[in-house]
Structure 1
Amino acid sequence: MPRIVSARVIVTCPGRNFVTLKVECDDGTTGLGDATLNGRELAVASYLEDHVVPCLIGRDAHRIEDIWQYLYKGAYWRRGPVTMSAIAAVDTALWDIKGKIAGLPLHQLLGGAMREGCMVYGHANGATIEDTIEAALDYQRQGYRAIRLQSGVPGLASTYGVSKDRYFYEPADADLPTENMWSSEKYLRSVPPLFAAAREALGWDVHLLHDVHHRLTPIEAARLGKDLEPYRPFWIEDSTPAENQANFRLIRQHTTTPLAVGEVFNAIWDCKTLIEEQLIDYIRATVVHAGGITHLRRIAAFADLHNVRTGCHGATDLSPVTMAAALHFGLSVPNFGVQEYMRHTDDTDAVFPHAYSFEAGLMHPGDAPGLGVDLDEDRAATFPYKRAYLPVNRREDGTMHDW
């Protein structure tokens, strides 16, 4: 049995900050896990270095479930994004090791492929509706079957999801949090015309998605969902904060637009009511923030019983390690829905060489043993950590609002 002899935390910033755990066994096999928590990266790095790594040395790397339970139940203070991101890094690294020892890609250990590839969606954004449609047409020409639409809101200086670069979006953009202004009224007037223009330009053979980013009340979200029904969105995402899961009962009463939520969830308990009562259609929990592959499989199995499909978060605040893990997971689960895909920078791809690939709207994790991702530590060392915060949001009268 492979015994863990070391576990090191590597923090690097090839365009944005990533926290990676590298676990090594006595036979020389290594595994990688992503522990990135956007804007709070060093908290997870410390949790791993100071509290988790000492507990791993000497353990059997094959006992993935036992180690997961040990780290979860043994901490006493359960859940939370820092704890669960740290556990996820260990869990993913151990699955990577198991795959390498078996000589099999991870999806084979999870039951094998259920589909030829994972449908992914790209991010079309622009300052105006016209700019967004132009970007969406570009994605359509590239073969994307699903496209997220985000556009600037008239009267607001900045809007979530609209970046300076067509392909790369990193909202953690400042040494201290920038402050954005928000108006739900102006926003709600802007989205239906965006979807009307998109259907006219793109037709009906492409899936259209939209991210609200937790900014509406339940009744406002219900109104938006109802307004968008004629354009048949694939989903509206994170329409209202879900700490109170009952919020989604009100939305469900008023619209048939599919609902997606969960990128900030870190345990099955965060979505228990949402799934049990079929208040959502897609669960967006991630490998890195929801306790790793082991726990995300539990969430997916529970969701499958209630006709809820997966739609894992996949923005660039997750490293290629998580993207690979998400693709192996998505390839193998029966209730896969879609996978978010934002391209990493060339520097990030060079630091994390990987086997996954994109073709005709689908991504495949590749057939390399384990995750199929490596870490160039020498190159990573040339990109030191750089503090970067996500913005905060205020209403036009100055009141703090959800970002």
Structure 2
Amino acid sequence: MYITDYELFEVPPRWLFLKLTTSDGRVGWGEPVVEGRAKTVAAAVEELLDNYLLGEDPTRIEDHWQTMYRGGFYRGGPVLMSAIAGIDQTLWDLKGKQFGAPVHELLGGRARDRVRVYQWIGGDRPADVGEAAREKVDAGFSALKMNATAELESIDSPAAVDAAAERIAAVREAVGDEVDVGVDFHGRVAKPMARRLAAALEPYDPMFIEEPVLPENNDALPAIRASTTIPIATGERMYSRWDFKEVLEADAVDLIQPDVSHAGGITELKKIASMAEAYDVSVAPHCPLGPIALASCIQVDACTPNALIQEQSLDIHYNETSDVLDYLADPSVFEYRDGFVEVPDGDGLGIEIDEEHVREQAEEDVDWHNPVWRHDDGSVAEW
């Protein structure tokens, strides 16, 4: 058996799907994408497949990963690691189908029967979060996540801090103490404001604060963590175990959030999670993406003892034109009950992609890019 062909599909709202075909007719699916840079990642996928993987045996996943990563003099970063990630997902999907087993069985078997999920509320510039929180809890979710703020100055006003505290207070009032609420700083917050915001939010017991500073300022995380009892989470813009090694060794985080479509795929996500387990750090894979990425995450969550909770993008504010379930032949595989999703037991990633719908949607004009925000003085703000 060898890899014979591939196709890439850019589909709404902002996703890139990869279909890999083998000589015996098997098909594997992956999701290699950087949101807003789909065409750039597609070029990297084509380069890896055309120059190396076409004609190769797809079962040698570890060797392929090492070759794609180490075979080039320049390595790492979001584009290359996302290209590797999507290809890696297809290889695991193919291998599961070859052996007639879900991916988690090939990775050691289940450590749990179902995976807890959280639901987004509030949008980019969070508003009406109390009402939204109540609706999602009434729909069965026991954990939520919201952005803390819109754009912030590097040192902002007391009013900006108070507004953030008032939003999470409204959520707490709406849903009570039995619902977990993660608060995403989204890298919008500079070091001095991170400490002030954490102090203001602490009375409302967030489940975690996410990306309190940009990854390039991860050296500030130990001091931020020491200043609050709120668990610190980060990792969506970190792309390999070598990136995570630094924050783990520095005792800087309580929860890491590698993205299976950015951090080297299933192979690398499992290694990162195992590293974190040795440091008593939990894992909540980042996944505001499509159904293939979500299925890949759940396969890893299923066999990872320190997996805490799973992000998923159903009804997220980015998904205005298409949503996760639209691309599945059987959407019930991601049916959320009591805040959990069952671990799929189908072969490979455990999902069946509706290829006809994918091809129809790939005819649409997809050109998603994140907005560029500016402060009142015209300078660029973090989005």
SS in 2 for 1:243: helix
Are the equivalent residues in 2 in contact too, given 1:311–1:338 (CA < 8 A)? yes
Query: How far apart, in 1, do the equivalents of 2:91 and 2:147 lie?
Result: 37
| Match status 1:339 vs 2:331 | no
The residue that corresponds to 1:291 in the other structure is 264
- 1:26 paired with 2:2, answer no
Secondary structure (helix, strand or coil) at the match of 2:6 reads strand
Q: Which amino acid aligns with 2:370?
A: L
Q: Deviations over 1:136-194 (max 9, x none)?
A: 1111112211112347x6xxxxx47xxxxxxxxxxxxxxxxxxx999843432212122
Q: Given the alignment, which residue of 258, 261, 264 partners 2:237?
A: 264
Q: Give SS of 2:187's match.
A: coil
Question: What secondary structure is seen at the aligned counterpart in 2 of 1:22?
Answer: strand
**In 1, Cα distance between the equivalents of 2:353 and 2:10?**
11
Provide the C-alpha distance between the structure 1 equivalents of 2:329 and 2:2, rounded to a whole number of angstroms. 26
Residue 34 of structure 1 aligns with an amino acid whose one-letter code is E
1:380 alignment partner in structure 2: 358
2:142 and 2:180 in contact (8 A); partners too = yes
Kept in 1: contact 2:145–2:183 (CA 8 A)? yes
Does residue 353 (structure 1) correspond to residue 329 (structure 2)? The answer is yes
- 1:123/1:147 contact within 8 Å kept: yes
Partner of 2:90: 93
Of 242, 245, 259, which residue of structure 1 is paired with 2:218?
245
Whether the 8 Å CA contact 2:154–2:193 is kept in 1: the answer is no
Normalising by structure 1, we get a TM-score of 0.86
Q: Which residue of structure 2 aligns with residue 324 of structure 1? A: 295
How do residues 69-108 of structure 1 correspond to structure 2 at under 5 angstroms? 69-108=66-105
Aligned to 1:177: none
Contact 1:80 1:266 in 2 (8 A): yes
Conserved? CA contact 1:313–1:340, under 8 Å: yes
Letter in 1 for 2:367: R
8 Å Cα contact 2:130/2:173 also seen in 1: no
1:134 aligned residue: 131
AA aligned to 1:343 is L
Q: Deviations over 1:84-141 (max 9, x none)?
A: 1111111110100111111111111122221221111111227998821111111111
Where does residue 9 of structure 1 map in the other structure?
8
Partner of 1:165: none
Contact 2:327/2:357 (CA < 8 Å) preserved in 1?
yes
Q: State the SS of the aligned residue for 1:210.
A: strand
**Alpha-carbon shift at residue 198 of structure 1 (Å):** 2.5
Q: CA RMSD in A?
A: 2.3
Aligned position for 2:346: 368
Change (3 A) 1:228 1:183: same
Q: How many residues align?
A: 373
Distance 1:36-1:106 versus aligned 2 partners, 3 A rule: same
Contact 1:126 1:135 in 2 (8 A): no
Q: Is structure 2 residue 375 aligned with structure 1 residue 395?
A: yes
Pair 1:114–1:132, CA change in 2 (3 A) = same
- 1:367-396 CA distance string (max 9 Å, x none): 111112333333223223422210122222
SS for the counterpart of 2:215 is: coil
Identical-residue share of aligned pairs (%)? 34
Task: Compute the displacement of 1:356 (Å).
Answer: 3.0
CA contact (8 A) 2:96 2:106 kept: yes
Query: 2:30·2:88 contact (CA, 8 Å) conserved in 1?
Result: yes
What 5-or-longer segments of structure 1 have no aligned partner?
154-158, 161-179
Match of 2:141 in 1: 144
The 3 A distance-change label for structure 1 pair 122 and 29 is same
1:364 Cα deviation from its structure 2 partner:
2.3
Provide the C-alpha distance between the structure 1 equivalents of 2:144 and 2:58, rounded to a whole number of angstroms. 39
Unaligned runs of at least 5 residues, structure 2? none
CA distance in structure 2 between the partners assigned to 1:261 and 1:396 by the alignment? 28
AA matched with 2:210: E
CA contact (8 A) 1:4 1:58 kept: yes
| Cα offset, 1:348, TM superposition | 5.2
Which has the higher mean CA deviation after the structures are superposed, 293-302 or 221-230? 221-230
Provide Cα deviations, 1:265-294, integer angstroms capped at 9, x if missing partner. 111222222111221111111110000010
Q: Aligned with 2:172: secondary structure? A: helix
Matched residue of 1:353: which SS? coil
Instruction: Give the secondary structure class of the aligned counterpart of 2:217.
Output: coil
Aligned twin of 1:168:
none
Structure 1 counterpart of 2:118: 121
Q: Which amino acid aligns with 2:175?
A: L
Q: CA deviation at 1:401?
A: 2.4
The answer to whether the 8 A contact 1:181-1:394 is kept is: no
Report if aligned partners of 1:183, 1:396 keep a CA contact under 8 Å in 2: no
Note the C-alpha offset of 1:232.
1.4
SS in 2 for 1:287: coil
Alignment deviations for residues 174-221 of structure 1 (CA, whole Å, 9 cap, x no partner): xxxxxx999843432212122223223322111111111101122321
Structure 2 length normalisation: TM-score?
A: 0.91
Q: 1:207 to 1:378 in 2, by over 3 A?
A: same
